[in-house]
A and B are shown apart, each in its own frame.
Chain A
């Protein structure tokens, strides 16, 4: 029976493997801030590693092709790609940080997610090479570059713009006699009509938690003043006392109950809901502009049947009804990289207008953050129109789960699942978020 004892001992050992990662690596102190040198010579040799968020089969060829093209231009350079999906990139990034092995270039969101790297001096201050007066800075959309500004310095390289829209199936709307709703109340009314016609009004999957957070984020932008939101994003000043929070959550619950499958949505994934919409089984689906091409890539929904509108604002909304939820997404350069000039050069290549046009067009459909980085002729017309709506918006409301500290984000994620399931009231969810913010101070 010695083998049994060994089995038990080794399983105990494997159990604390996580602790090995934690204890063995997280004690590494951050180095001093690193600032990019615009006059540094680029040595086109060696290896650069890149962590992308393009792990999805449809998106992964973009970086593969860009890497190949760069290697062809510079034969002594090798580009190593680590491609993760939207869901896996968070865990992967933190594991790489904990083991002090971040690649030379890594994906980042804006908000508190990106701030983590800046706090830890793990991102190169790119202001001297990407600032508004620099050659590269002039090639990129200024607002997108500014979204990665922390303490007055620029740390991120925006690759594409993103925002949330309600996609809809024009045929199903027409069949039910429904037109694009202009207010939140009209949307609820449209849902009732669509349901009577035999289709699910909005397909929604909230197994991951964040899809619900996206709805709530847009409703918060409508119901809570921008200044209050931004104050509450920071734990030190957070109060969460504005009545608009509970109002937004009440509207969110109403939307899920009347337009979707209610409590059951907690058991469906975001991807399943997209599939339902693409197959013409539901009339609407709340999605990011970067997913417009995916919604019509395969399945019953054709591109000409695809329409979109901004989630309509409720009447008497107290916040900014011209705001839209969304943010650019981009990359940072590892401050510990052995070859910072080469990493910057590679990202300049990736963000060139030529690559921007490839990125913006199908099958990728990621609207480039590069000025002149897209061409209406080659792009999905819906993406082109969506970009105009983004441009007309007064405020880009950041994603709640990346704008807030992790503990507050977790409170939003679990709280909204509880709200959908009926085990918490809107007021109780706000209270949970408030407590999480207080414990994050």
Chain B
């Protein structure tokens, strides 16, 4: 049963959407309509099977082979490609970089965005709330290619905006080739990603906060609760569902990251900014080693699958209904 309530212009409650049990609804549709509906389900199931589950299974099959795309020759190698993963130092670097991406993104795009959204939604005037939401959302509307190029110029050694700013404030010693040094390249990319993703998370949190009844805050104020107390005791628990979702989506996204790295460094210098996605591409499409590329894809799949299950479990156990 899906029910929603809204208030009409006179202030009287009006029910919208489906109401009542499913049985009378189905009976009203009749057997022919029911069969037709089932047909659409079958079509959707076949499409999902073909475009989602078949590639997943096929990927595991490919990872047990060595294939040459030019000749079409295939040799079964069992789990050799997975054993190779253990001794490949770049895989270790890539997993570490993905993990860094995930941790930093959770701090900024989940907890940072949550605090910012609460501050914005705490503003008294709606026009200012709209204004700040828009200001923070704009970077998310820019394509990753454009953002990558923009930050490429910001990070340019000596002439870039960042190094120039550091020089201007007397920190010239800190200026460096941010994308050109092995120690800083991945952090420079992650920083750009925070800049772009922060506003989107803030917007989602703002929507979640808007759903919290105003009366709860009014009551808390009457009880003498301050801003941080209200944030911690009302806003945070009642947006837990969104927070959980954002944590999982952010971690999953961090292990799927590809475009940002390709545009800015291509995984260099010396593979220092490789992530699993770019290393997969490098192996498959540059080094022509599709079996090993598929094995890397399997690793990404397993990590994101575990994260996906964690999402289901978390949202099931921590859901708070208002």
Q: Is the CB of B55 within 8 A of A17?
A: yes
Instruction: Say if the beta carbon of B219 comes within 8 Å of chain A.
Output: no
Give A1-25 as 1s and 0s: 1 = Cβ < 8 Å from B's Cβ atoms: 1001101111111011111101111
- The interface of chain A, by Cβ under 8 A from chain B, is 1, 4-5, 7-13, 15-20, 22-30, 90-91, 94-95, 97-98, 116-117, 119-122, 206-209, 261, 263-269, 272, 406-407, 410, 413-415, 417-418, 420-421, 423-424
Which residues of the partner chain B approach A10 to less than 8 Å between Cβ atoms?
52
Instruction: Say if the beta carbon of B96 comes within 8 Å of chain A.
Output: no
Which of B284, B289, B293, B301 makes the CB contact (< 8 A) with A12? B301
Instruction: Say if the beta carbon of B268 comes within 8 Å of chain A.
Output: yes
- The interface of chain B, by Cβ under 8 A from chain A, is 51-52, 54-56, 58-59, 61-62, 67-74, 152, 155-158, 176-182, 185, 241, 245, 248-249, 252-253, 256, 265-266, 268-271, 280-282, 284-290, 293-294, 297, 300-301, 304-305, 307-308, 311-312, 315-316, 319
The 8 closest A-B pairs by CB, nearest first: A267-B180, A19-B59, A120-B70, A264-B177, A23-B58, A266-B180, A20-B55, A13-B52
Q: How far is the CA of A97 from the CA of B285 in the complex (A)?
A: 10
Which of A20, A29, A265, A418 makes the CB contact (< 8 A) with B270? A418
Which residues of the partner chain A approach B158 to less than 8 Å between Cβ atoms?
261, 264
Q: How far is the CA of A121 from the CA of B72 in the complex (A)?
A: 10
Which residues of the partner chain B approach A9 to less than 8 Å between Cβ atoms?
52, 308
CB proximity of A126 to chain B, nearest CB, Å = 18
23 A–B contacts, CB within 8 A, in A order: A4-B245, A4-B311, A5-B308, A8-B252, A8-B307, A8-B311, A12-B308, A15-B297, A27-B72, A29-B71, A91-B281, A94-B285, A94-B288, A207-B268, A264-B157, A267-B185, A268-B156, A269-B152, A406-B289, A414-B270, A417-B268, A418-B182, A423-B182
Q: Is the CB of B71 within 8 A of A18?
A: no
User: Given known contacts A26-B62, A264-B158, A272-B156, what 15 new A-B pairs fall within 8 Å (CB)?
Assistant: A5-B312, A8-B308, A12-B52, A12-B304, A22-B290, A23-B59, A23-B62, A90-B286, A120-B70, A261-B157, A266-B181, A267-B157, A267-B177, A268-B156, A268-B177
Which of B69, B177, B268 makes the CB contact (< 8 A) with A414? B268
Q: Is the CB of A410 within 8 A of B294?
A: no
CB proximity of A161 to chain B, nearest CB, Å = 26
Given that A9-B308, A421-B182 are known contacts, is A267 also in contact with B156, CB under 8 Å in the complex? yes
Given that A10-B52, A26-B290, A29-B72 are known contacts, is A18 also in contact with B180, CB under 8 Å in the complex? no
Q: How far is the CA of A8 from the CA of B293 in the complex (A)?
A: 22
- Residue with the greatest number of chain A CB neighbours at <10 A, chosen from B52, B266, B269, B311: B269
Which residues of the partner chain A approach B269 to less than 8 Å between Cβ atoms?
206, 266-267, 414, 417-418, 420-421
CB proximity of A102 to chain B, nearest CB, Å = 10
Q: How far is the CA of A24 from the CA of B305 in the complex (A)?
A: 22
Q: Is the CB of A18 within 8 A of B52?
A: no
Which residues of the partner chain A approach B157 to less than 8 Å between Cβ atoms?
261, 264, 267-268
Which residues of the partner chain A approach B62 to less than 8 Å between Cβ atoms?
19, 22-23, 26
Given that A8-B311, A26-B72, A264-B180 are known contacts, is A410 also in contact with B59, CB under 8 Å in the complex? no
Q: Is the CB of A7 within 8 A of B249?
A: yes
Q: Residue on A with the closest CB to B155?
A: A267
Q: Residue on A with the closest CB to B163?
A: A264
Q: How far is the CA of A413 from the CA of B269 in the complex (A)?
A: 9
Which residues of the partner chain A approach B305 to less than 8 Å between Cβ atoms?
12
Given that A12-B304, A28-B72, A94-B69 are known contacts, is A266 also in contact with B268, CB under 8 Å in the complex? yes
Which of B55, B281, B290, B300 makes the CB contact (< 8 A) with A98? B290
CB proximity of A338 to chain B, nearest CB, Å = 20
Q: Residue on B with the closest CB to A31?
A: B72
Q: How far is the CA of A280 from the CA of B303 in the complex (A)?
A: 50
- Residue with the greatest number of chain B CB neighbours at <10 A, chosen from A20, A26, A207, A414: A26
Which residues of the partner chain B approach A24 to less than 8 Å between Cβ atoms?
55, 58
Q: Residue on B with the closest CB to A415?
A: B270
Q: How far is the CA of A414 from the CA of B304 in the complex (A)?
A: 29
Q: How far is the CA of A229 from the CA of B185 in the complex (A)?
A: 34
CB proximity of B265 to chain A, nearest CB, Å = 7
Q: How far is the CA of A5 from the CA of B309 in the complex (A)?
A: 9
Which residues of the partner chain B approach A122 to less than 8 Å between Cβ atoms?
70
Given that A13-B51, A15-B256 are known contacts, is A207 also in contact with B180, CB under 8 Å in the complex? yes
Q: Is the CB of B315 within 8 A of A4?
A: yes
Which of A19, A267, A272, A420 makes the CB contact (< 8 A) with B178? A267
Q: How far is the CA of A25 from the CA of B69 in the complex (A)?
A: 8
Q: Is the CB of A18 within 8 A of B304?
A: no
Which residues of the partner chain B approach A421 to less than 8 Å between Cβ atoms?
180-182, 269-270
